[in-house]
Chain A
Amino acid sequence: MPEILPQIIWFSLLASAIYALIATGLTLLFGILNFINFAHGDFAMVGAYVFFALAIMLGLPWWIAVPLVIACCALMGVVIEKITLKPVRKSPSFTPLIISIGIGALLQAIITIFFGSGVKSYRVEGAETAIYKLFGGSLIVTQSQIIIIITTILLLIGLHIFLKHSKTGKAVRAVADNMEVASILGINIDKTISIIFAIATAMAGVGGLLIAYEQNLSVTMGISLGVKAFAAIILGGVGNILGAVVGALVIGFGENLIVGFTPIPANFKDAIVFALLILMLFIRPNGLLGEKAESQVRK
């Protein structure tokens, strides 16, 4: 048993947690609107920068800054949907897909105008983070990493409870299943879609700020995050929340274990993700938890 195993598992969990936060939102949006939101990674990037502005530039304490990030991202999601996607709701699904690519580019441009294109960091010069050594020093864990894991687990449990047990959550699933029937039962479709956008973008924003807490911020950080979240939902089965989490775990563990135990260098992580994705599409095109696509023909 190599000594680095606990550390690699820990890093895998961290990566999986972030991917899961972004992938669940992406899969929720797909479930309800039937399109892949290519701006989703950029929503995460915006979340990271909003936190930077509030906590680092304005110096607000985190317990004020984090709720504000959540509120800003949720509002951003709702407004963007109302302005850009609602008008094309009846169009074929490539229309919103192309629009989302444009939104991503726009968000990157706006952030660049305000913050510049250089890499930024939350870390304050000279400040020390708490570090814990476990398993006789073979596993080093920082406080911020523990916060990431706990936040992710709480958010995912919260989302599960919301969807399974609240009236609005059930309505969300009903709309995802059959929008037309949901509307004739008096379920407000526009409101439900807004709620989903708010949740999905807020979760992405939190994911973005958490990863920026651990690494750095850059305007282009969303691209790789979006791609990995996309791969996660394909791996797990599109439109399935549990599938998104499972897919995130497969990718988080896959890239870290392979980089950790094979001679493949770390900058090949993205390539590994895509290799996993292609392999999956060959073996099980519907994803690990996905169901066979229903036949369009009515019996």
Chain B
Amino acid sequence: MLNIQNLSAGYGGPLILHKVNINVKEGEIVTIIGPNGAGKSTILKSIFGLTDIKEGSIEYFDEELIGVKTGEIIKRGICYVPQGRSIFPSLTVEENLQMGAFIRSDKAVIKKDMAYVYEKFPKLYERRHQKTKTMSGGEQQMVAIGRALMLQPKLLLLDEPSIGLAPKIVCEVFEKCLDIRKGGTAILMVEQNANIALSYSDRGYVLELGQNRIEGSGKQLLKNKQVGELYLGK
């Protein structure tokens, strides 16, 4: 469904990505791992048009995404959860979710989407009137993911979903990813927490200095000696 080819991009200055290739098939969970500064987040940002792309293509269902406006990208079914606490802290849980469906105007559909998100995240329903700044880091991450699910995307982009979370909560987040995939949403995520992320992934890519290094199934990468030494602390 998503096919990134020969992508070179940066933020105006020197290039960060050099001819990167990534693809995601429908219903897959794909993880990009690699050291700090490898350009992992830059890939996700490029999909959303937040970088300067020098060459390459990003095809989504055989249509070019480069140059497409954010609103249109979302409408086509890609949603993005940026790194960190990407919630609106002074808004309630419900208001955060409503913002996820901002591009929609049909209230009945929004209601249905919200019911879907609450079904996936019952905890959020209990706290729907709570301001998100008063919630824990894990709950905030759930709000951010829930918000991205409001449009029932075909592809969900997650930038370091486990960052700053306690180990138990990290597992919870990845369990949610499996659950989301069951709903028909493919996931492309970037993770520092390579061990656990790969164990939940169908496939993985190792990125280094903005270039593809190794790719394979989640299991293969976990067993791979080189990957183990470099990124899994084995």
Name A residues whose Cβ lies closer than 8 Å to a Cβ of B.
167, 170-171, 173-174, 176-178, 180-188, 298-299
The reply to whether the CB of B103 lies closer than 8 angstroms to some CB of chain A is yes
Considering the chains assembled together, what is the distance between the CA atoms of A182 and B70 in angstroms? 11
List the 7 closest pairs (A to B, CB-CB), nearest first. Answer: A177-B88, A186-B71, A186-B103, A174-B88, A181-B86, A174-B99, A186-B74
For B100, the chain A residues whose CB sits under 8 A away are 185
12 other A-B residue contacts (CB within 8 Å) besides A184-B50, A184-B70? A177-B88, A177-B89, A178-B86, A178-B87, A178-B89, A181-B87, A185-B99, A185-B103, A185-B147, A186-B71, A186-B74, A186-B103
The reply to whether the CB of B205 lies closer than 8 angstroms to some CB of chain A is no
Considering the chains assembled together, what is the distance between the CA atoms of A171 and B101 in angstroms? 11
Give the interface SS of chain A, mostly helix, strand, loop or mixed.
helix
Considering the chains assembled together, what is the distance between the CA atoms of A158 and B103 in angstroms? 24
For B147, the chain A residues whose CB sits under 8 A away are 185
Q: Residue on A with the closest CB to B86?
A: A181
The reply to whether the CB of B80 lies closer than 8 angstroms to some CB of chain A is yes
From known contacts A177-B91, A185-B74, A186-B70, infer whether A171 and B102 are also in contact, taking CB-CB under 8 Å. Answer: yes
- Contact: B88 with A167, CB < 8 Å? no
Closest chain B CB from A242 CB (angstroms): 12
Considering the chains assembled together, what is the distance between the CA atoms of A177 and B131 in angstroms? 12
- Contact: B82 with A183, CB < 8 Å? no
Within 8 A of A (CB), among B74-100: 74-75, 80, 82, 84, 86-91, 95, 98-100
Pick from B75, B84, B87, B102 the residue with the most CB of A within 10 Å: B102
For A180, the chain B residues whose CB sits under 8 A away are 82
Interface string of B196-212 (1 = CB under 8 A from A): 00000000000000000
- Contact: B98 with A170, CB < 8 Å? yes
For A167, the chain B residues whose CB sits under 8 A away are 98, 102
- Contact: A170 with B80, CB < 8 Å? no
Q: Residue on B with the closest CB to A239?
A: B90
- Contact: B99 with A187, CB < 8 Å? yes
For A178, the chain B residues whose CB sits under 8 A away are 86-89
- Contact: B91 with A170, CB < 8 Å? yes
- Contact: A177 with B90, CB < 8 Å? yes
Q: Residue on B with the closest CB to A176?
A: B90
Name B residues whose Cβ lies closer than 8 Å to a Cβ of A.
48, 50, 70-71, 74-75, 80, 82, 84, 86-91, 95, 98-100, 102-103, 137, 147, 164
For A182, the chain B residues whose CB sits under 8 A away are 88, 99
From known contacts A184-B80, A184-B82, infer whether A173 and B70 are also in contact, taking CB-CB under 8 Å. Answer: no
- Contact: A174 with B91, CB < 8 Å? yes
For A171, the chain B residues whose CB sits under 8 A away are 99, 102
Q: Residue on A with the closest CB to B72?
A: A186
For A298, the chain B residues whose CB sits under 8 A away are 84, 164
Of the residues A184, A186, A299, contact of B164 by C-beta under 8 Å: A299
Considering the chains assembled together, what is the distance between the CA atoms of A181 and B148 in angstroms? 11
Of the residues B70, B74, B86, B99, contact of A170 by C-beta under 8 Å: B99
For B99, the chain A residues whose CB sits under 8 A away are 170-171, 174, 182, 185, 187
Considering the chains assembled together, what is the distance between the CA atoms of A266 and B84 in angstroms? 52
Pick from A167, A173, A183, A185 the residue with the most CB of B within 10 Å: A185
Considering the chains assembled together, what is the distance between the CA atoms of A170 and B98 in angstroms? 9
30 sample A-B contacts, Cβ–Cβ < 8 Å, listed by A number: A170-B91, A170-B95, A170-B99, A171-B99, A171-B102, A173-B95, A174-B88, A174-B91, A174-B95, A174-B99, A176-B90, A178-B87, A178-B89, A181-B82, A181-B87, A182-B88, A183-B70, A184-B50, A184-B74, A184-B82, A185-B74, A185-B102, A185-B103, A186-B74, A186-B75, A186-B103, A187-B102, A188-B71, A298-B164, A299-B137
For B70, the chain A residues whose CB sits under 8 A away are 183-184, 186
For B74, the chain A residues whose CB sits under 8 A away are 184-186
Of the residues B80, B84, B90, contact of A173 by C-beta under 8 Å: B90
From known contacts A185-B100, A186-B70, A187-B102, infer whether A173 and B88 are also in contact, taking CB-CB under 8 Å. Answer: yes
Considering the chains assembled together, what is the distance between the CA atoms of A183 and B71 in angstroms? 9
Q: Residue on A with the closest CB to B99?
A: A174
For B75, the chain A residues whose CB sits under 8 A away are 186
For B137, the chain A residues whose CB sits under 8 A away are 299
Q: Residue on B with the closest CB to A299?
A: B164
Considering the chains assembled together, what is the distance between the CA atoms of A170 and B95 in angstroms? 7
